[in-house]
Amino acid sequence: MSQSLAKECNEAKERYDTCFLKWYSEKYLRGIGSLENNECSELFKQYSKCLQGPLKERGIDKMLVEAREDNKENDALYLGRKK
Amino acid sequence: MKVFSNSVTFNYSWEEVSIANWQKYSPWNEKCTHVIAVDTLSRTVDPATGILRTERLITCKQSAPEWLKSIFGGVDESQVFETSYIDPHSKTVTMVAQNLTWSNLINVQETVIYRPLNDHQTQFEQAAKITALCGGWQRIKSNIEDALVKRFHENALKGREGFEAVLAMSRKVFAEEREREKMALIQAQAVNIRMVA
């Protein structure tokens, strides 16, 4: 797997990525299993928590606000939702 | 604004491609060393459509021509925000990405779609719109756009080569894993037979 932008999160990221890949290939693609509260949820929480600090330090959290706003059009297009 | 587009056929099923896609920038890919980090920011399944929506942050470090570097303040690390939508019913992977860094200077928007061609092949379509925003000077804008299109093209070639390596490795690893599971099952059955006999 690739690295995280924050070295201290590499381990948490690797654990989560490995879990997700297994879930994705063995469950999601076969139409079984759910993302909510699954075997990877706790790992994702830990990984995300680790990232929060580094994202804020680099000012990326602010840039994401605008990027997500810009992306709403894509959500409407690809999720078939109304804006 | 400049446009870049590219299409490739991969000799792997859509399922294999969509799995390997998550590992595109892993160490198996020796070509895309300009991608130095990939972080998942969010992941949800849309209850209405079953579409898996993922947000990722991709960190790149790439040398740029000196004149371009000076416009970007000498920094060669940048971030890209990517949102992907995977529809397992229609078998489509759609990825949209935009640059986060230098968004006041340039705007790069990329859309990638992976769709099955048949049971054993997947079609990859990529399109990018590149716009330099430094108001006024047309020639500078055009030069920046040209340089970025060229870089995009180079990265696309590396990306394709690198992804082929990941696909091959992924297929090998999955096959080995299945073989291991089969052997374990056979051994377990042999033990059972011996115990019963």
Per-residue pLDDT reduced to its tens digit, B97-144? 999 988 888 899 999 999 999 999 999 999 999 988 876 677 788 888
Per-residue pLDDT reduced to its tens digit, B53-65? 999 999 998 877 7
Q: Say yes or no: B127 contacts chain A, CB-CB below 8 A.
A: no
Q: Say yes or no: B100 contacts chain A, CB-CB below 8 A.
A: yes
| Mean pLDDT over the full length of chain B | 89
For A64, the closest of B26, B81, B174 (CB atoms) is: B81
Query: What's the CA angle centered on B170, arms A50 and B158, to 5 degrees?
Result: 80
Q: Which of A30, A78, A82 to mutate to test the interface with B (most CBs of B within 10 A)?
A: A78
| Alpha carbon of B169: minimum distance to chain A alpha carbons (Å) | 13
For A60, the closest of B26, B43, B79 (CB atoms) is: B79
Per-residue pLDDT reduced to its tens digit, B133-179? 876 677 788 888 998 899 889 999 999 999 999 999 999 988 898 89
Q: Which residue has the higher pLDDT, B27 or B43?
A: B43
Q: Is A38 helix (H, G, I), strand (E, B) or coil?
A: coil
What local confidence, expressed as pLDDT, does residue A82 receive?
41
Q: Determine whether the interchain pair A63/B94 forms a contact, defined as Cβ–Cβ distance below 8 Å.
A: no
Is residue B197 pLDDT above 80, yes or no? no
Q: Say yes or no: B102 contacts chain A, CB-CB below 8 A.
A: no
Is residue B92 pLDDT above 60, yes or no? yes
Residues in chain A within 8 Å Cβ distance of B81: 63-64, 67, 71
| Alpha carbon of A44: minimum distance to chain B alpha carbons (Å) | 9
What local confidence, expressed as pLDDT, does residue B136 receive?
65
How many A/B residue pairs have CB atoms within 8 Å?
A: 98
What local confidence, expressed as pLDDT, does residue A5 receive?
94
Q: Say yes or no: B107 contacts chain A, CB-CB below 8 A.
A: no
Residues in chain B within 8 Å Cβ distance of A3: 36-38
Rounded CA gap, B185 and B117, in Å?
A: 35
Rounded CA gap, B145 and B108, in Å?
A: 10
Q: Say yes or no: B30 contacts chain A, CB-CB below 8 A.
A: no
DSSP per-residue string spanning A40-58: THHHHHHHHHHHHHHHHHT
ipTM reported for the complex, 2 dp: 0.93
Backbone angles phi, psi at B125, to 5 degrees: -120, 130
Rounded CA gap, A74 and A81, in Å?
A: 10
| Structure-token pair, residue A73 | 């059009």
Within chain A, which residues score under 50 in pLDDT? Answer: 82-83
Whether B25 contacts B36, CB under 8 Å: no
Question: Which of B61, B109, B106, B103 minimizes the C-alpha distance to B82?
Answer: B109
B164, burial (CB in 10 Å: exposed 0-12, middle 13-18, buried 19+): middle
Interface of B with A in 65-84 (CB under 8 A): 79, 81, 83
The count of other CB atoms within 10 Å of the CB of residue B55 is 18
| Structure-token pair, residue A1 | 């797997």
| Alpha carbon of B41: minimum distance to chain A alpha carbons (Å) | 7
Q: Provide the pLDDT confidence category of residue B194 given band limits of 50, 70 and 90.
A: confident
